[in-house]
Amino acid sequence: MKRLQPKRGVVRAVDTNVLVRFLVADDARQAKRARAAIEAGDIFIATTVLMETEWVLRAAYDFDGEAVARALRGLAGLPGVRVEEPARLAQALDWMMKGMDFADALHLSRTEDCALFLSFDKDLAKRAPKGATAVEAP
């Protein structure tokens, strides 16, 4: 089967499995294809895909927070790669490095216009950094 090369300027979104193959290269054939796709540029990565990628790297590949942050920052910094809401991603990664769960950090990074973030998660309330939206139980 012949693979079609994307036209320059045609943005392609990628799924978690493509990012994981690119980052961990645990399947040589798929890793080569993922690398070629990403290096071709015009790649968009949705926040939801980044959130799932973090979970897979941590849960299936035993990445610690520092390794996850390094991988996601490196990925987001590649030429031809655009992430959804890069400032929120950077904020969430910074908060994760200070002890927050990445998904919680992403959620909280989106609440800047809110007075409160309601959650029963006591750990989130404890780990929310100063300056972030206050976290309280409903």
| Integer-rounded Cα radius of gyration of the chain | 17
Q: Which domains does the chain have, with CATH numbers?
A: 10-84 (3.40.50.1010), 87-138 (no CATH)
Smallest CA-to-CA distance from 40 within 61, 9, 17, 69 is with: 9
The model's pTM: 0.88
Cα–Cα distance, 112 to 86 (Å, whole number): 15
Comparing CA positions, the residue from 7, 1, 68, 69 lying closest to residue 41 is 7
Query: Rounded to an integer, what distance in angstroms lies between the CA atom of residue 47 and that of residue 57?
Result: 15
Query: What does the pLDDT profile of the chain (138 residues) look like in tens digits?
Result: 444 455 556 899 999 999 999 999 999 999 999 999 999 999 999 999 999 999 999 999 999 999 999 999 999 999 999 999 999 999 999 999 999 999 999 999 999 999 999 999 999 999 999 999 999 999
